[in-house]
Copies of this chain bind each other. A is one copy, B any other.
Amino acid sequence: MTYIKLITLLSLFILVACTPKARQEQTIQKDYTQFVKPLVGTLGEGNTYPGAQVPFGMVQLSPDTEKWEWGAASGYEYSDSTIYGFSMTHLHGTGIPDMGDILFMPTVGQTHIRPGKKDFSETGYLSKFSHENETAEIGYYSVVLDDYNIKTELTSTNRAGMMRYTFPASDSAHVVLDLSHVLRFDVVWSNVKVINETTIAGMHQVKGWAKERYVYFTAEFSRPFDETRLFSGGKEVKYDSYKTYRFRSSKEAAGPDIQFVADFRTSEDEQLSVKVGISPISTANAMKNLKTEMPDWDFEKYVSASKELWNKELAKFDVEGTQQQKETFYTAAYHAFMSPTTYFDVNRNYRGLDQNIHACNDFDNYTVFSLWDTYRATHPLFCLTQADRNANMINAMLAHYQQSPDKLLPIWSFWNNETWCMIGYHAVPVIVDAYFKGVEGVDWELAYQACVNSATHPEYDATAEYEQLGYVPYDLENESVSKTLEYAYDDYCIARFAKALGKEADYNRFAKRAMAYKNLFDKEIGWMRPKDSKGQWKADFDTHHFEHLGAFTEGTTWQYTWTVPHDVQGLVELYGSKEAMATKLDSVFAYSSGKDYKGVDDIHGRIGEYWHGNEPSHHVTHLYTYVGQPWKTQQLTRHIIDTQYGNEPGSLCGNDDCGQMSAWYIFNAMGFYPVCPGSNDYVITSPAIPSVTMTLSNGNKLVIDTENYSDDNVYIQSLKINGVEWKKCWFSFNDIKEGGHIHFVLGDVPNKEWASAEEHYPPSMSNNEL
């Protein structure tokens, strides 16, 4: 190739690469970021964090006010009065704490290397703070640390964060890095080195929920240290001829309990910034990430860049409504687009499940797969608005599968770990849903094999017994009913996938397995019920007993009986009639009891035995559409949105679960919900905003608008899709994939005629070709 040719081609490439981007940027004129309230979900069970993160960013730089409680798994709880410091990573909305890696804390006065006791800030480096001096915006967080009168501001890029501290005048100002800090769990090992007068680097290894997680960092300070000190096991690391016998460097330390302290003499209002790059691989990669993404000290530039990235994501929804509606909606979109998180360095390397360093040259790697939650609405939302990312996420899951010694798709994975948390094999519906929605860039044959292997592992959670008996027997396996039901749904997805790929034998096998739910339905009582390996129902079955000695997962049969999303008509048949099932559904929402079983206290958002605060209930309101009472769905989803979402710190009734709670909101606010991901069908409900234009992944626009929208007008009177009168209470992906127009006419009394005839019910496996 000649030099001239190369230059010509290069110019062409730049032209091609840059032009569409420039055009795209021109089209985004509105500022949607103003509507995002990062504090939503920080009070109570939401388990969100208020700090800075770019969309799907590896860094979640946020204050930690809590370290031990499961109830504040994100590290931040709005009702707390003290802050430990600011750490680089957090989990969004999970029920189990972990992360909180690489914690920095600016202080003045006496040097503390221990945090001290929460709420008693004089006992350590932690500090009191007040929400009056706290600001949480998209891409920006600030707070005044009252004990030290230090304002701290945070922002981030994908793999790096910047902290800007405004100090008072002090001859003993410090920045403490506590590598022993992590949320709830244990630091197995850590190290830190002082690289030069402004730079440190190190790592810690955490034995946490993820059993073996490595986080490396490189941090640059905006001015040279006056002094540095290292501590190990509470003692300063320095050479003392008699105590340490031989030389010991004061520039490096390693062990399970390591702190670094940078000392400064500061003038009044002196600003000192720290930039931190992180990496799952090495300090060298952390430095590469930092140098690439955050080359200079312009804090505002990175705040603006973060807002700009977010605005592109938020602009996928152009909502009309009240301020409260917009704040609720865009905050939900913000929460839905935080996880899974980027998991590769700028050189495209990442630490795999096998602990080896891999290159993701052909895809963008992601991690934090809370699949038991996110298969329901989060990934279906990605299918509509983040198809490319969803393909990357699936490729990340396939890489995990290939690196897994058990050749299993992820169950609940983050960083280079499988936690085996929750049940089922719900990477399957994510994959199958994407396949049927035409997501591109995945090796579907590999994906198919991964699905089949994951469903048929000889040791995984009694899937062998399940296939043999047609159900998981409670005497041999924990969570037997929940597993049976969720396996059957996942198997429906595999059956559908098999058929599409022409694998007839597999289709028959998994289609049969998909009917397993029938084997645990006790017609006598009208509930799913544990059965033992001899085929006997469990005696003394208390339907309200939480988890019932392990037969149910985070629930009771009142929630779980409805876990047949792929064959609701089959369930109707088990009940004998649509009326019988509707009555049973009514009883769920009507149930009232003063009594709480042990363990259930952290699940809120309850309407009777419908528990919106946890995922098994998430599709239950929509089942009324399968029994000819769609108006009940409409009333309930509007009611849930009115009562259990909002724009306040306490607005989330349950764990946001890596965006699932928020994705539920987004779908239902727009007037439809994917009851059965893996099918292409969406059940229609009453929108909770007057109007929204959603830009699909392919760039086409789906306009959803309403007539007579009001708080009371929760019932659909009529509906048009693309100008055609629409009598079905569902539509297909194919109806909207090129964009279009959904027009709702609403009113304050149910139109019981609309979509209540059987031919208008959503499809089910039993009455439809797959």
Contact = CB atoms under 8 A, between A and B. Distances in A.
Q: Pick from A246, A422, A477 the residue with the most CB of B within 10 Å.
A: A246
Interface in A410-447: 411, 418, 420-423
B195 A356 contact: no
Give the size range of A's interface with the partner. Answer: 35 or more
A238 B459 CA distance: 9
A254 interface: yes
A188 interface: yes
Given A284-B356, A405-B194, A250 B212 contact: no
B282 A247 contact: no
Nearest to A419: B246
A250 B420 CA distance: 12
Contacts of A252: 405-406
Interface string A54-85: 00000000000000000000000000000000
Nearest to A351: B282
A249 B354 CA distance: 13
A550 interface: yes
A195 B422 CA distance: 25
A189 B189 contact: yes
B195 A405 contact: yes
Contacts of A476: 241
A283 B460 CA distance: 26
Interface in A176-220: 188-189, 191, 193-195, 201, 203, 205, 207, 211-212
A357 interface: yes
Nearest to A190: B212
A248 interface: yes
Contact of A241 (B195, B411, B477): B477
B241 A462 contact: yes
Contacts of A282: 355-357
Contacts of A207: 189, 255
Contacts of A191: 212, 355
Interface string A271-300: 000000000001110000000000000000
A597 interface: no
A541 interface: no
A550 B251 contact: no
B212 A550 contact: no
Interface string A230-251: 0000000011011001111111
20 contacts: A188-B189, A189-B189, A189-B212, A191-B355, A195-B405, A203-B355, A211-B254, A239-B461, A241-B478, A245-B478, A246-B420, A246-B422, A247-B411, A247-B459, A249-B405, A251-B405, A252-B405, A252-B406, A284-B356, A357-B357
